Protein backbone atom coordinates (compact mmCIF):
# COMPACT_ATOMS: atom_id res chain seq x y z
CA UNK A 1 0.00 0.00 0.00
CA UNK A 2 1.32 3.43 -0.76
CA UNK A 3 0.20 6.93 -0.16
CA UNK A 4 1.12 10.27 -1.70
CA UNK A 5 2.57 12.90 0.60
CA UNK A 6 2.58 16.44 -0.68
CA UNK A 7 4.56 19.21 0.93
CA UNK A 8 4.40 22.67 -0.58
CA UNK A 9 6.80 25.24 0.75
CA UNK A 10 7.87 28.71 -0.25
CA UNK A 11 11.48 29.68 0.30
CA UNK A 12 12.92 33.19 0.41
CA UNK A 13 16.47 33.86 -0.78
CA UNK A 14 17.88 37.19 0.44
CA UNK A 15 15.67 40.25 0.57
CA UNK A 16 13.93 40.13 -2.80
CA UNK A 17 14.14 36.71 -4.45
CA UNK A 18 11.12 34.51 -3.67
CA UNK A 19 10.62 31.10 -5.23
CA UNK A 20 8.09 28.34 -4.65
CA UNK A 21 8.52 24.65 -5.22
CA UNK A 22 6.41 21.58 -4.65
CA UNK A 23 7.94 18.37 -3.37
CA UNK A 24 5.82 15.45 -4.56
CA UNK A 25 6.99 12.23 -3.00
CA UNK A 26 5.56 8.74 -3.31
CA UNK A 27 6.80 6.24 -0.79
CA UNK A 28 5.93 2.74 0.32
CA UNK A 29 4.27 2.91 3.72
CA UNK A 30 5.70 0.60 6.34
CA UNK A 31 3.07 -1.89 7.39
CA UNK A 32 1.67 -1.10 10.80
CA UNK A 33 3.66 -2.90 13.46
CA UNK A 34 2.03 -4.37 16.52
CA UNK A 35 2.29 -1.72 19.22
CA UNK A 36 3.01 -2.08 22.92
CA UNK A 37 -0.39 -1.75 24.60
CA UNK A 38 -1.19 -0.76 28.17
CA UNK A 39 -4.57 -0.11 29.75
CA UNK A 40 -4.25 2.39 32.58
CA UNK A 41 -7.60 3.50 34.02
CA UNK A 42 -7.98 7.18 34.98
CA UNK A 43 -5.01 8.19 32.81
CA UNK A 44 -4.51 11.93 32.38
CA UNK A 45 -1.12 12.30 30.69
CA UNK A 46 1.91 10.26 29.60
CA UNK A 47 5.47 10.75 28.37
CA UNK A 48 8.36 8.58 27.15
CA UNK A 49 11.77 8.90 28.78
CA UNK A 50 14.51 10.45 26.60
CA UNK A 51 16.32 7.10 26.45
CA UNK A 52 13.06 5.51 25.22
CA UNK A 53 12.99 2.78 27.88
CA UNK A 54 10.29 4.04 30.26
CA UNK A 55 6.75 5.36 30.18
CA UNK A 56 5.69 7.82 32.88
CA UNK A 57 1.99 8.50 33.51
CA UNK A 58 -0.15 10.59 35.84
CA UNK A 59 -3.59 9.38 36.93
CA UNK A 60 -6.55 11.01 38.62
CA UNK A 61 -8.89 8.84 40.72
CA UNK A 62 -12.21 10.21 41.95
CA UNK A 63 -12.77 9.35 45.62
CA UNK A 64 -14.82 10.44 48.60
CA UNK A 65 -18.39 11.64 48.97
CA UNK A 66 -20.15 11.77 45.55
CA UNK A 67 -21.67 15.11 46.58
CA UNK A 68 -18.21 16.49 47.31
CA UNK A 69 -15.79 14.33 45.30
CA UNK A 70 -12.03 14.54 45.53
CA UNK A 71 -9.42 13.90 42.86
CA UNK A 72 -6.56 11.71 44.06
CA UNK A 73 -3.40 11.92 41.90
CA UNK A 74 -0.82 9.23 41.29
CA UNK A 75 2.37 8.92 39.21
CA UNK A 76 3.52 5.61 37.75
CA UNK A 77 6.62 4.60 35.76
CA UNK A 78 6.42 1.55 33.48
CA UNK A 79 8.75 -0.67 31.52
CA UNK A 80 6.35 -0.57 28.59
CA UNK A 81 8.10 -3.31 26.61
CA UNK A 82 7.51 -5.80 29.42
CA UNK A 83 4.22 -4.28 30.53
CA UNK A 84 5.59 -3.97 34.07
CA UNK A 85 5.02 -1.14 36.52
CA UNK A 86 8.35 -0.21 38.13
CA UNK A 87 7.36 2.41 40.71
CA UNK A 88 4.35 4.46 41.78
CA UNK A 89 3.76 7.45 44.02
CA UNK A 90 0.67 9.21 45.37
CA UNK A 91 0.72 13.00 45.06
CA UNK A 92 -2.24 13.73 47.32
CA UNK A 93 -5.82 14.77 46.62
CA UNK A 94 -8.00 17.86 46.35
CA UNK A 95 -11.66 18.72 46.04
CA UNK A 96 -12.90 18.69 42.45
CA UNK A 97 -13.00 22.18 40.92
CA UNK A 98 -13.15 23.81 37.46
CA UNK A 99 -10.10 22.89 35.44
CA UNK A 100 -9.11 20.15 37.87
CA UNK A 101 -9.19 17.58 35.06
CA UNK A 102 -6.06 18.89 33.33
CA UNK A 103 -2.84 17.16 34.36
CA UNK A 104 0.52 16.76 32.62
CA UNK A 105 3.74 14.81 33.03
CA UNK A 106 7.04 15.46 31.22
CA UNK A 107 10.65 14.38 31.43
CA UNK A 108 13.28 17.07 31.06
CA UNK A 109 15.35 16.68 27.89
CA UNK A 110 18.32 15.22 29.79
CA UNK A 111 16.10 12.72 31.64
CA UNK A 112 17.30 13.90 35.05
CA UNK A 113 13.91 15.22 36.22
CA UNK A 114 10.32 14.06 35.96
CA UNK A 115 7.97 17.04 36.12
CA UNK A 116 4.30 16.66 37.04
CA UNK A 117 1.38 19.05 37.12
CA UNK A 118 -1.73 17.56 38.74
CA UNK A 119 -4.14 20.51 38.76
CA UNK A 120 -4.10 23.09 41.50
CA UNK A 121 -1.15 25.44 41.93
CA UNK A 122 1.82 23.08 42.35
CA UNK A 123 4.39 21.58 40.00
CA UNK A 124 6.12 18.49 41.42
CA UNK A 125 9.76 17.91 40.45
CA UNK A 126 10.61 14.23 41.01
CA UNK A 127 13.56 11.90 40.63
CA UNK A 128 12.70 9.75 37.60
CA UNK A 129 13.85 6.41 39.06
CA UNK A 130 12.23 6.33 42.50
CA UNK A 131 9.81 9.29 42.24
CA UNK A 132 11.21 10.93 45.35
CA UNK A 133 10.32 14.60 45.45
CA UNK A 134 13.19 16.97 44.73
CA UNK A 135 11.11 20.11 45.14
CA UNK A 136 7.74 21.63 44.47
CA UNK A 137 7.20 24.81 42.47
CA UNK A 138 4.33 27.12 43.38
CA UNK A 139 2.41 28.47 40.39
CA UNK A 140 1.10 32.00 40.52
CA UNK A 141 -2.45 32.02 39.17
CA UNK A 142 -3.14 35.70 38.46
CA UNK A 143 -6.68 36.97 39.04
CA UNK A 144 -8.70 38.22 36.05
CA UNK A 145 -7.79 41.73 34.99
CA UNK A 146 -10.13 44.58 35.88
CA UNK A 147 -11.13 44.95 32.23
CA UNK A 148 -11.98 41.24 32.06
CA UNK A 149 -14.10 41.50 35.18
CA UNK A 150 -15.97 44.51 33.79
CA UNK A 151 -16.53 42.79 30.44
CA UNK A 152 -17.69 39.45 31.82
CA UNK A 153 -20.84 39.64 33.86
CA UNK A 154 -22.77 36.51 34.77
CA UNK A 155 -19.52 34.63 34.11
CA UNK A 156 -19.47 30.89 33.82
CA UNK A 157 -15.98 30.11 35.10
CA UNK A 158 -14.00 33.28 35.68
CA UNK A 159 -11.08 31.41 37.20
CA UNK A 160 -7.49 31.24 35.96
CA UNK A 161 -6.23 27.69 35.38
CA UNK A 162 -3.41 25.85 33.64
CA UNK A 163 -4.31 24.37 30.24
CA UNK A 164 -0.90 23.49 28.68
CA UNK A 165 2.46 22.40 30.06
CA UNK A 166 5.78 21.76 28.25
CA UNK A 167 9.39 21.32 29.40
CA UNK A 168 12.12 23.07 27.40
CA UNK A 169 14.28 21.23 24.80
CA UNK A 170 17.37 22.11 26.82
CA UNK A 171 17.95 23.12 30.41
CA UNK A 172 15.37 22.76 33.17
CA UNK A 173 12.57 25.15 32.30
CA UNK A 174 8.84 24.56 32.03
CA UNK A 175 6.30 26.70 30.17
CA UNK A 176 2.62 26.98 31.12
CA UNK A 177 -0.41 28.31 29.26
CA UNK A 178 -3.14 29.63 31.55
CA UNK A 179 -6.76 30.42 30.68
CA UNK A 180 -8.59 33.20 32.48
CA UNK A 181 -12.10 31.86 31.89
CA UNK A 182 -15.30 32.43 29.97
CA UNK A 183 -17.99 35.00 30.66
CA UNK A 184 -20.75 36.99 28.97
CA UNK A 185 -20.38 40.30 27.16
CA UNK A 186 -23.22 42.63 26.19
CA UNK A 187 -23.56 42.88 22.40
CA UNK A 188 -26.19 45.52 21.74
CA UNK A 189 -29.47 44.09 22.97
CA UNK A 190 -27.97 40.60 23.21
CA UNK A 191 -25.20 38.78 25.06
CA UNK A 192 -22.35 36.71 23.67
CA UNK A 193 -19.58 34.59 25.12
CA UNK A 194 -16.47 36.48 26.14
CA UNK A 195 -13.28 34.42 26.02
CA UNK A 196 -11.04 36.27 28.42
CA UNK A 197 -7.55 35.23 27.34
CA UNK A 198 -4.95 34.46 29.94
CA UNK A 199 -1.21 34.13 30.37
CA UNK A 200 1.94 32.27 29.40
CA UNK A 201 4.53 31.67 32.12
CA UNK A 202 8.01 30.13 32.32
CA UNK A 203 9.48 28.64 35.53
CA UNK A 204 12.98 27.45 36.40
CA UNK A 205 12.68 23.92 37.78
CA UNK A 206 16.03 24.05 39.60
CA UNK A 207 15.20 27.14 41.63
CA UNK A 208 11.40 27.18 41.50
CA UNK A 209 11.52 30.82 40.37
CA UNK A 210 9.21 32.26 37.74
CA UNK A 211 11.37 33.52 34.88
CA UNK A 212 8.76 35.49 32.99
CA UNK A 213 5.07 35.94 32.30
CA UNK A 214 3.08 37.41 29.42
CA UNK A 215 -0.56 38.43 29.34
CA UNK A 216 -2.76 37.42 26.40
CA UNK A 217 -5.61 39.87 26.52
CA UNK A 218 -8.36 37.83 24.90
CA UNK A 219 -9.22 34.52 23.30
CA UNK A 220 -9.92 30.91 24.26
CA UNK A 221 -6.78 29.29 25.68
CA UNK A 222 -8.01 25.72 26.01
CA UNK A 223 -8.09 23.00 23.39
CA UNK A 224 -4.99 21.57 21.74
CA UNK A 225 -1.52 21.76 23.21
CA UNK A 226 -1.32 25.45 22.32
CA UNK A 227 2.30 25.64 23.49
CA UNK A 228 5.63 24.83 21.79
CA UNK A 229 9.32 25.55 22.38
CA UNK A 230 11.72 26.52 19.62
CA UNK A 231 14.29 23.78 18.96
CA UNK A 232 17.08 25.75 20.66
CA UNK A 233 14.88 26.72 23.62
CA UNK A 234 15.28 30.45 23.00
CA UNK A 235 11.68 31.23 22.10
CA UNK A 236 8.17 30.04 22.87
CA UNK A 237 4.98 29.85 20.78
CA UNK A 238 1.56 30.13 22.46
CA UNK A 239 -1.80 29.75 20.69
CA UNK A 240 -5.21 31.23 21.35
CA UNK A 241 -8.49 30.54 19.53
CA UNK A 242 -11.35 32.96 18.95
CA UNK A 243 -13.94 30.52 20.31
CA UNK A 244 -14.57 27.03 21.63
CA UNK A 245 -14.39 24.05 19.23
CA UNK A 246 -17.15 23.78 16.61
CA UNK A 247 -17.81 27.51 16.75
CA UNK A 248 -16.68 29.88 14.02
CA UNK A 249 -13.43 31.79 14.17
CA UNK A 250 -9.70 31.71 13.68
CA UNK A 251 -6.78 31.87 16.03
CA UNK A 252 -3.63 33.73 16.96
CA UNK A 253 -0.11 32.43 17.59
CA UNK A 254 2.14 34.55 19.81
CA UNK A 255 5.94 34.26 19.68
CA UNK A 256 7.57 35.04 23.02
CA UNK A 257 11.15 35.55 24.21
CA UNK A 258 11.68 34.22 27.77
CA UNK A 259 14.52 36.74 28.19
CA UNK A 260 12.13 39.68 27.74
CA UNK A 261 8.60 40.63 28.69
CA UNK A 262 7.33 41.63 25.24
CA UNK A 263 5.65 39.73 22.43
CA UNK A 264 8.14 39.35 19.57
CA UNK A 265 5.55 38.68 16.91
CA UNK A 266 2.02 37.40 16.45
CA UNK A 267 0.19 36.04 13.43
CA UNK A 268 -3.34 35.01 12.62
CA UNK A 269 -4.57 31.66 11.32
CA UNK A 270 -7.88 31.11 9.55
CA UNK A 271 -9.19 28.29 11.76
CA UNK A 272 -9.46 27.58 15.46
CA UNK A 273 -6.16 26.22 16.75
CA UNK A 274 -5.51 22.65 17.86
CA UNK A 275 -1.96 21.52 18.66
CA UNK A 276 1.01 23.60 17.62
CA UNK A 277 4.55 22.29 17.12
CA UNK A 278 7.88 23.99 16.40
CA UNK A 279 10.09 22.22 13.88
CA UNK A 280 13.54 23.60 13.20
CA UNK A 281 14.39 27.17 14.21
CA UNK A 282 11.89 28.77 11.81
CA UNK A 283 9.02 26.37 11.04
CA UNK A 284 5.83 26.31 13.14
CA UNK A 285 3.07 23.76 12.44
CA UNK A 286 -0.46 24.80 13.45
CA UNK A 287 -3.13 22.08 13.51
CA UNK A 288 -6.69 22.93 12.52
CA UNK A 289 -8.90 22.93 15.61
CA UNK A 290 -12.18 23.65 13.81
CA UNK A 291 -14.85 20.99 13.37
CA UNK A 292 -15.88 19.94 9.85
CA UNK A 293 -19.04 21.50 8.47
CA UNK A 294 -21.57 19.92 6.15
CA UNK A 295 -19.67 21.10 3.08
CA UNK A 296 -16.59 22.90 4.44
CA UNK A 297 -13.37 22.05 6.26
CA UNK A 298 -13.64 18.41 5.23
CA UNK A 299 -9.94 17.64 4.69
CA UNK A 300 -7.90 20.49 6.22
CA UNK A 301 -4.19 20.82 5.60
CA UNK A 302 -1.50 21.29 8.24
CA UNK A 303 -0.16 24.79 7.51
CA UNK A 304 3.49 25.66 8.05
CA UNK A 305 4.38 29.18 9.18
CA UNK A 306 7.68 31.03 9.30
CA UNK A 307 8.45 32.18 12.82
CA UNK A 308 10.63 34.99 11.49
CA UNK A 309 7.92 36.50 9.26
CA UNK A 310 4.62 35.10 10.55
CA UNK A 311 3.70 34.14 6.96
CA UNK A 312 2.39 30.77 5.85
CA UNK A 313 5.08 29.18 3.70
CA UNK A 314 3.63 25.77 2.98
CA UNK A 315 1.33 22.97 4.07
CA UNK A 316 1.23 19.23 4.56
CA UNK A 317 -1.73 17.47 2.97
CA UNK A 318 -3.42 14.15 3.54
CA UNK A 319 -6.39 12.72 1.58
CA UNK A 320 -8.47 12.59 4.76
CA UNK A 321 -7.17 15.86 6.20
CA UNK A 322 -4.98 16.70 9.20
CA UNK A 323 -6.87 17.92 12.22
CA UNK A 324 -6.45 18.80 15.92
CA UNK A 325 -3.34 16.80 16.85
CA UNK A 326 0.29 17.14 15.80
CA UNK A 327 3.73 16.96 17.40
CA UNK A 328 7.37 17.03 16.30
CA UNK A 329 10.08 14.69 17.62
CA UNK A 330 12.70 16.32 19.86
CA UNK A 331 15.33 15.81 17.14
CA UNK A 332 13.01 17.80 14.78
CA UNK A 333 13.26 15.15 12.07
CA UNK A 334 9.77 13.65 12.22
CA UNK A 335 6.21 14.88 12.60
CA UNK A 336 3.16 12.97 13.79
CA UNK A 337 -0.33 14.12 12.79
CA UNK A 338 -3.91 12.95 13.32
CA UNK A 339 -5.65 12.01 10.06
CA UNK A 340 -8.87 10.59 11.50
CA UNK A 341 -12.11 11.73 9.84
CA UNK A 342 -15.16 13.37 11.40
CA UNK A 343 -18.41 14.40 9.78
CA UNK A 344 -21.28 16.69 10.65
CA UNK A 345 -24.77 15.21 10.56
CA UNK A 346 -28.24 16.31 11.59
CA UNK A 347 -29.79 14.22 14.34
CA UNK A 348 -32.95 15.09 16.17
CA UNK A 349 -33.14 18.86 16.28
CA UNK A 350 -29.44 19.76 16.18
CA UNK A 351 -26.17 19.35 14.35
CA UNK A 352 -24.13 16.39 15.58
CA UNK A 353 -20.43 15.67 15.05
CA UNK A 354 -19.62 11.98 14.65
CA UNK A 355 -16.34 10.16 14.18
CA UNK A 356 -15.72 8.15 11.00
CA UNK A 357 -12.30 6.68 11.78
CA UNK A 358 -9.21 7.38 13.89
CA UNK A 359 -5.65 7.16 12.52
CA UNK A 360 -2.32 8.99 12.53
CA UNK A 361 0.59 9.38 10.14
CA UNK A 362 4.28 10.01 10.73
CA UNK A 363 6.22 12.11 8.20
CA UNK A 364 9.92 12.55 7.65
CA UNK A 365 10.42 16.32 7.70
CA UNK A 366 13.60 16.20 5.62
CA UNK A 367 11.85 14.59 2.64
CA UNK A 368 8.11 15.09 3.16
CA UNK A 369 7.61 11.31 2.93
CA UNK A 370 4.96 9.56 4.98
CA UNK A 371 6.94 6.80 6.71
CA UNK A 372 4.18 5.24 8.80
CA UNK A 373 0.38 5.06 8.79
CA UNK A 374 -1.30 3.62 11.84
CA UNK A 375 -4.04 1.02 11.81
CA UNK A 376 -7.52 2.06 12.94
CA UNK A 377 -7.18 3.24 16.54
CA UNK A 378 -10.85 3.04 17.45
CA UNK A 379 -12.56 6.42 17.50
CA UNK A 380 -13.03 7.76 21.05
CA UNK A 381 -15.50 10.37 19.81
CA UNK A 382 -15.59 13.18 17.33
CA UNK A 383 -15.37 16.15 19.69
CA UNK A 384 -11.86 17.59 19.17
CA UNK A 385 -10.86 17.27 22.83
CA UNK A 386 -11.48 13.50 22.60
CA UNK A 387 -9.01 12.90 19.76
CA UNK A 388 -6.06 10.77 20.94
CA UNK A 389 -3.00 12.65 22.14
CA UNK A 390 0.09 12.04 19.97
CA UNK A 391 3.77 12.31 20.89
CA UNK A 392 7.05 11.12 19.36
CA UNK A 393 10.06 9.78 21.23
CA UNK A 394 13.43 11.55 21.22
CA UNK A 395 14.63 9.77 18.07
CA UNK A 396 11.22 9.73 16.42
CA UNK A 397 11.35 5.94 16.33
CA UNK A 398 8.41 5.47 18.73
CA UNK A 399 4.93 7.00 18.54
CA UNK A 400 3.06 7.40 21.83
CA UNK A 401 -0.74 7.47 21.51
CA UNK A 402 -3.11 7.74 24.47
CA UNK A 403 -6.74 8.63 25.08
CA UNK A 404 -9.01 9.71 27.90
CA UNK A 405 -10.18 6.09 28.19
CA UNK A 406 -6.78 4.99 29.56
CA UNK A 407 -5.64 3.21 26.41
CA UNK A 408 -1.89 3.66 25.81
CA UNK A 409 -0.22 2.40 22.64
CA UNK A 410 3.43 2.79 21.68
CA UNK A 411 4.12 2.07 18.01
CA UNK A 412 7.64 1.21 16.78
CA UNK A 413 8.04 3.36 13.66
CA UNK A 414 11.48 2.21 12.55
CA UNK A 415 14.86 3.92 12.70
CA UNK A 416 14.86 7.47 11.41
CA UNK A 417 18.36 7.17 10.03
CA UNK A 418 19.38 10.65 11.17
CA distance 217 to 226: 16
Angstrom distance (rounded) from CA 220 to CA 6: 31
Collect all residues with Cβ–Cβ distance below 8 Å to 9 and sequence separation of at least 6: 20, 21, 23, 304, 313, 314
For residue 355, being part of any structural domain is answered with yes
Cα–Cα distance, 372 to 389 (Å, whole number): 17
- Which letter does DSSP use for residue 292 in this model? P
Domain boundary residue, one of 100, 117, 138:
138
CA torsion sign for 413, 415, 417, 418 is: positive
| Domain presence at residue 255 | yes
- Measured between alpha carbons, how far is 203 from 205 in angstroms, rounded to an integer? 6
Domain count, the chain: 3
pLDDT at residue number 23 = 27
Residues 6, 54: one domain? Answer: no
Residue 7 domain-assigned (yes or no): yes
The whole domain housing 271 covers 1-31+223-418
Question: Measured between alpha carbons, how far is 335 from 327 in angstroms, rounded to an integer?
Answer: 6
Final residue of a structural domain among 117, 138, 159: 138
Are residues 417 and 284 part of one domain? yes
Domain presence at residue 295: yes
pLDDT in the model for residue 156: 60
Domain shared by 106 and 26, yes or no: no
Give the SS3 label for residue 385: helix
The reply to whether 264 and 384 lie within a common domain is yes
Same domain, 169 and 288: no
Same domain? For 253 and 386 the reply is yes
Q: How far apart are CA 58 and CA 43, in angstroms?
A: 6
Q: Are 269 and 388 contained in the same domain?
A: yes
Residue 296 and residue 197 share a domain: no
Q: How far is the C-alpha of 71 from the C-alpha of 19, rounded, in Å?
A: 55
User: What's the CA angle centered on 377, arms 375 and 380, to 5 degrees?
Assistant: 160
* CATH number where 58 lies: 2.40.10.480
Nearest to 330 by CA among 240, 259, 398, 253: 398
Torsion, Cα 313 318 324 328, to 10 degrees, reads -60
- Per-residue model confidence (pLDDT) at position 28: 33
pLDDT of residue 379: 64
The verdict on residue 408 lying in a domain is yes
Q: What is the pLDDT of residue 14?
A: 28
Three-state DSSP class for 386? helix
Same domain, 164 and 281: no
Residue 2 has a pLDDT of 34
Residue 131 sits in the same domain as residue 58: yes
Contact 273, 318 (CB under 8 A): no
Q: Taking the chain (418 residues) in consecutive chunks of 10 residues, what is each chunk's mean pLDDT? A: 33 26 30 78 95 96 77 94 96 65 92 93 96 95 66 66 95 95 76 88 97 93 93 95 92 94 91 95 93 78 95 93 94 94 70 78 93 86 75 96 90 75
Are 182 and 279 part of one and the same domain?
A: no
Residue 24 in any domain: the answer is: yes
214 is a domain residue: no
CATH value at residue 400: 2.120.10
Among residues 138, 170, 191, the one where a domain terminates is 138
Q: How far apart are CA 91 and CA 81, in angstroms?
A: 26
In a domain, 251, yes or no: yes
Q: Which helix (H) or strand (E) holds 148?
A: helix 146-151
Both 400 and 413 in one domain: the answer is yes
Give the list of residues 6+ apart from residue 40 with CB closer than 8 angstroms, or none: 57, 59, 76, 406, 408
Amino acid sequence: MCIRAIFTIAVTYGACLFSTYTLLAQTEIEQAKVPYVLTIPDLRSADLSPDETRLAVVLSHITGDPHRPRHSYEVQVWDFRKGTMLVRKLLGSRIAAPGVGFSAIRYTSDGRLLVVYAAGTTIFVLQPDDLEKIRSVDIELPPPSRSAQRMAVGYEDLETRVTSFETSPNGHLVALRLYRGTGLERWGLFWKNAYLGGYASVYDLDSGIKINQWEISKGYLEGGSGLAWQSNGKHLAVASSDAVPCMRGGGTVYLLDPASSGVMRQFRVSNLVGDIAWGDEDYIYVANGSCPGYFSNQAPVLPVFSASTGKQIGAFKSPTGIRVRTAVSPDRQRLIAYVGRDKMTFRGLEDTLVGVDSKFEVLDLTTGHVVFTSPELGSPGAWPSLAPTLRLSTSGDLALVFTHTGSVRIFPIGHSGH
